[in-house]
Structure 1
Amino acid sequence: MAKATTIKGGKFRVLLGDDSDPIVYAAPCGFTQRSITLNKGLEEVNIPDCDDPDKIDWLGRDATSLSMSISGEGVLAEQSVEIWLDGYDSIDSIPAKVEWEFPTKTITWTGSMHIESLEAGAANAGRATLNVSMQSDGEMVRTVTPATP
């Protein structure tokens, strides 16, 4: 049996883009944990048995939408606090990119996201932390790029 090829946390990146042309993406400093959730909206419909109408229907599901959400946390870093706050204050979504860099390929999603929430906290004598929640705004385009030899 072949051993699974895995990646470390530093190869799982969430990057935010600026307003330059072309967009320049960078990972905000202090973001130490991150996760993405890919969601598929489903619409349910009962499917009857035509030969036996008294039989309990099976439930059918049709896909209606796709979305991505990102959550993460880390330290409240001076180097990136304005980036997070500016994105939160913006009425418009901001450019975002997610990368999973494997040894033989990189999977990337690129699109726009809204910063849905920022939660900062601190305990006495502890480091201030920041929790972030982001939601996709439209399509997050997935590409797969082979690693360069």
Structure 2
Amino acid sequence: MAQATTIKGGKFRVLIGNDATPIVYAAPCGFTQRSITLNKGLEEINVPDCEDPDKVDWTGRDATSLSMTVSGEGVLAAESVDTWLEAFESIDSIPVKVEWEFPAKTITWTGLMHIESLEAGAQNGQRATLNVTMQSDGEMVRVTTPVTP
């Protein structure tokens, strides 16, 4: 049996784009944990049994929407605090890229997201922290790129 090919946290990146043409993406400093959640909106309907209408219906589900949530946390870094605050204050969604870099391929989602929440915290004698949540605004386009030898 072969072991799974895994990646470390540094190969799981959340990058914020600027307003240059072409967009330049950079990972804000300070994240120590990040996650993405892929959501599928579903609509439910009861599907009857045509031969026995008295049977309990099974629930059928139809996909109605897709979305992505990105969450991250880490230290409140001076190098990235302005990036986060400007993105939060923007009335427009911002360009975001999420990358999973495996040894043989990189999976990338690119699209627009809104900063939904920024939460900063601090305890006496400890470093200040920052938690960020972003929500997709439209399609997050997924591309898988094989590593070329």
TM-score range, shorter chain: over 0.9
Matches within 5 A, 1:78-93: 78-93=78-93
What amino acid sits opposite 1:111 in the alignment? G
Residues 1:143 and 2:143 are matched in the alignment: yes
TM-score with structure 2 length normalisation? Answer: 0.99
CA distance in 1, matches of 2:29, 2:136: 21
CA distance in 1, matches of 2:57, 2:66: 27
RMSD: 0.4
Percent identity among equivalent residues? 80
CA distance in 2, matches of 1:6, 1:126: 32
Alignment size in residue pairs: 149
What amino acid sits opposite 2:68 in the alignment? M
Q: Deviations over 1:15-71 (max 9, x none)?
A: 000000000000000011000000000000000011111100000000000000011
CA distance in 2, matches of 1:97, 1:36: 12
Matches within 5 A, 1:125-144: 125-144=125-144
Q: Which residue number in structure 1 is paired with residue 76 of structure 2?
A: 76
Residues 1:46 and 2:46 are matched in the alignment: yes
Q: Which residue number in structure 2 is paired with residue 104 of structure 1?
A: 104
Determine helix, strand or coil for the equivalent of 2:4: coil
CA distance in 2, matches of 1:148, 1:125: 48
Determine helix, strand or coil for the equivalent of 1:20: coil
Residues 1:21 and 2:21 are matched in the alignment: yes
Gaps of 5+ in 2: none
Gaps of 5+ in 1: none
Residues 1:5 and 2:5 are matched in the alignment: yes
CA distance in 2, matches of 1:77, 1:2: 40
CA distance in 2, matches of 1:10, 1:84: 20
CA distance in 1, matches of 2:128, 2:120: 7
Determine helix, strand or coil for the equivalent of 2:49: coil
CA distance in 1, matches of 2:133, 2:70: 6
